Amino acid sequence: MPRFSPEPAYQHGTPAHTAVVLINLGSPEAPTAPALRRYLKEFLSDPRVVEFPRPLWWMILNGIILNIRPKKSAAKYAAVWTPDGSPLKAHTERQAKLLAGHLGESGHRVKVAWAMRYGAPSVSEVLSRLKAEGASRILLVPMYPQYAASTTATALDAACAWLSRTRNQPEIRSIRNFHDDEGYLAALEQRVRAHWQTNGLPGADTRLLISFHGLPRRSLDLGDPYHCECRKTGRLLAERLNLQPGQYEVSFQSRFGRAEWLQPYTSATLEAMAKSGVRRVDVICPGFVADCLETLEEIALEGKATFLGAGGREYHYIPALNEEPRWIEALARLVDRHLQGWPTRDLPNPESLQESARRARALGAPT
């Protein structure tokens, strides 16, 4: 088997162009047990996702997890599945189209594509297609505001693996994180304020819960910056909303297994809030820029059941940024900054340059 992938056909004089690739986590192809088994096997086999001795983990994964979890996960996906398929895929595709429009309106001539780290379309599939279409400069945009080895890093691992098999490599850039980006935070603030305008301003018995995806506590001890970046996002968002410490909390969801994970846990926090007399809770998940299983099922449905079951009276999930115009504008500005120095804008034709110089001379200006 050849070490390098075949190079696409090339004709001299073919113009090179720039591409932008949004990379998100991924979804199964369908809300069925077989589809979930394939998806979970790829996802949970990634050593970035599960840092466990590989031989032992292989036995646990293939002997236990993949025989039990797919059916349960399929039922959860079925509860949030849409006519367009997976919510995460549908939102990511729409975000890519809207981003392309914004960049085009600002003068950029780039192709915008999207890929999934697990499932389809894969990172390698999308990069190969863009290269075949003439992309010689590619900006990778992992859609994770807060950097983590198990999200951002593994997305870049997939791109680097593709590069290692590529003879004629394109120029690659990547965005590491945007947890404190002004545009991103402004979009989150607008999302919360719009929710308050519709559902009423928070009272003394109301809390804003800012919930992030959880990671094993060990990741923090090993030097992963994710916990700190989540905390910073939560603090900056609360400051923009003029909230005092007692009016909001930051928590972490999606605990898996028996090991300690980042705390406080979202489910335990919701239960404690209800039992302490909090009547209403509004929950936002800033770590997800597109709604997915973890927001629509775990937070919107399971979280609500937990809070109301513990005595709470009113529960609201604030949707992810999705296709919110302010978020798409912020994403376009973020991408624009990382495209600096690459020739992505239309160059004036020589005749127009000559005409500009002639007019300048006529006005007595230096040319």
According to DSSP, the residues that pair with 317 across neighbouring strands are 283
The token pair at 291 is: 């709604």
Give the tens place of pLDDT for each residue, 8-36: 887 777 778 999 999 999 999 999 999 99
pLDDT for the residue numbered 366 = 46
Give the tens place of pLDDT for each residue, 247-293: 999 999 988 777 899 999 999 999 999 999 999 999 999 999 999 99
Local structure of residue 271 (DSSP, 8 states): H
Torsion angle in degrees (nearest 10) through CA of 73, 281, 225, 61: -20
Mean pLDDT of 31-59: 94
Pairing status of strand 280-284 against strand 314-317: parallel
pLDDT of 356 strictly over 70:
no
Higher pLDDT, 180 or 344: 180
pLDDT of 167 strictly over 50:
yes
Question: pTM here?
Answer: 0.91
Q: Which helix (H) or strand (E) holds 253?
A: strand 248-253
pLDDT for the residue numbered 348 = 44
Closest C-alpha among 148, 201, 199, 207 to residue 176: 148
For 345: left if phi > 0, alpha if psi spans -120 to 50, otherwise beta; the answer is beta
pLDDT for the residue numbered 254 = 83
Give the tens place of pLDDT for each residue, 118-137: 999 999 999 999 999 999 99
Give the tens place of pLDDT for each residue, 217-239: 999 999 999 999 999 999 999 99
Report the alpha-carbon distance of residue 59 to residue 270 in Å, rounded.
35
Q: What percent of the chain has pLDDT over 90?
A: 87
Give the tens place of pLDDT for each residue, 86-106: 999 999 999 999 999 999 999
Report the alpha-carbon distance of residue 37 to residue 169 in Å, rounded.
34
pLDDT of 349 strictly over 70:
no
Quickly state the pLDDT bin for 363 (edges 50, 70, 90).
low
Pairing status of strand 135-142 against strand 171-174: parallel
- Long-range CB contacts (< 8 A, 24+ apart) of 255-261? 255/214, 259/216, 259/217, 259/218, 260/216, 260/217, 260/218, 261/214, 261/215, 261/216, 261/217
Strand intervals (E) in 80-161: 110-118, 135-142
pLDDT for the residue numbered 2 = 83
pLDDT of 365 strictly over 80:
no
Closest C-alpha among 110, 120, 117, 125 to residue 165: 125
> What does the mean pLDDT of the chain come to?
93
The token pair at 140 is: 């990778």
Query: How many CB atoms are closer than 10 A to CB 343?
Result: 12
According to DSSP, the residues that pair with 116 across neighbouring strands are 24, 122
Quickly state the pLDDT bin for 351 (edges 50, 70, 90).
very low
Give the domains, in start order, of the chain with CATH numbers.
17-178+324-338 (3.40.50.1400), 182-317 (3.40.50.1400)
pLDDT of 49 strictly over 60:
yes
pLDDT for the residue numbered 14 = 74
Q: How many residues can be counted in the chain?
A: 367
Residue carrying the six token digits 């449905």: 301
Higher pLDDT, 367 or 291: 291
